[in-house]
Amino acid sequence: MAMHEGSNVASWGRGPLIKSIIAGDIRVTRTCSDRFDLDVAPAIPCTDAFGVIVQLRDFEAHRLWRRGRLVYEGGHAKASLAITDLRDEWQCHHLSPFDNIRFHIPFSRMRAFAEEVGRSEYVALTCVQGRIDPVMHGLAQALLPSLDDPDKANPLFLEQINLAMLAHLSQTYGGLHFPMDKKGTLSPWQERLATEFLAAHFNKPFSIGDLASRCELSRSYFNKAFKESFGRTPSRWLTEYRVARVKELLLQDLSIAEVAINCGFADQSHMTRVFTSLTGDTPARFRRKNRPFGVALDALGL
């Protein structure tokens, strides 16, 4: 399954040491430098992926720009994690020595993983900065020998590390729920049927009773078993799924009213109430913060 390749090059100016390896469609890169005088790094190309950075040592100072606007200035502690949405343009100026592991994870890989483990949810990672994450730090350290000598890296080992990473990220930052105790949960076929049905009907009316019948369960037992399996009721699952779809559509050229209808809400005000209760932002504010020209679009009623 895994293909791998290595590199050891300087990427900008008096650049840092860079070593990369590819496992499937996930790229892992170690970037490190002992210098205080690095040039500003080139902007990261925009792509449909998440960037996950784990610090292997204390990183005292850097500046981070998003779409040309300074959004962070400071450092990150050893074992801290940063998650960024790479559909935005990011650029960094490293102002002190650093050593980190970067994971480039396509959206498609996150969603494929969710489906592979019987979770047809709409997985999107919460973007964080500087959160201590011992699990990701341990997985990053486990990859160091493979990065040092890619030609001797074991493809099966790389695949297993990737699966462990995806499971941890999707549960900790993506909202997926993996029950510890299988008693009282849905069976794998029922989990898949239920989530696929909910995803297919997220913007159209349906009956939970009908879904329960398809799973060969009573409505009351289905609701309890679904919550045990997914950590939330079917209604809550569907609401979170709709809000995730709203976030995606708000980045496109649709009016907020159109987004509401496309995502199964009664109207724009209904969507705004639900969206705000889950995210703390109104749809308009989310668009302004996460899309170039969002202010201009709002002024035009889009």
Is residue 44 located within the same domain as residue 133?
Answer: yes
Residues in the chain: 302
26-33 and 17-23 beta bridge pairing: antiparallel
Tens digits of residue pLDDT in 90-106: 999 999 999 999 999 99
Is residue 25 located within the same domain as residue 80?
Answer: yes
Is residue 32 located within the same domain as residue 160?
Answer: yes
Is residue 107 located within the same domain as residue 47?
Answer: yes
Is residue 206 located within the same domain as residue 283?
Answer: no
Is residue 55 located within the same domain as residue 168?
Answer: yes
Is residue 142 located within the same domain as residue 214?
Answer: no
Tens digits of residue pLDDT in 160-196: 999 999 999 998 998 777 776 678 899 988 988 998 8
Q: Is the pLDDT of residue 279 over 90?
A: no
> How high is the pLDDT of residue 256?
94
> Where are the alpha helices (H) located in the chain, listed in sequence order?
107-116, 134-142, 144-148, 155-172, 188-200, 208-214, 219-230, 234-250, 256-262, 268-279, 283-290, 294-299
Position 209 confidence tier, pLDDT thresholds 50, 70, 90: very high
Q: Is the pLDDT of residue 24 over 50?
A: yes
> How high is the pLDDT of residue 157?
93
Strand partners, 210: none
Tens digits of residue pLDDT in 31-59: 999 999 899 989 988 999 999 999 999 99
> Has residue 196 been placed in a domain?
yes
Q: What is the mean pLDDT of the chain?
A: 86
Is residue 36 located within the same domain as residue 112?
Answer: yes
Number of structural domains the chain divides into: 3
CA 136/CA 121 separation, integer angstroms? 22
CA 77/CA 100 separation, integer angstroms? 11
Global confidence as pTM: 0.71
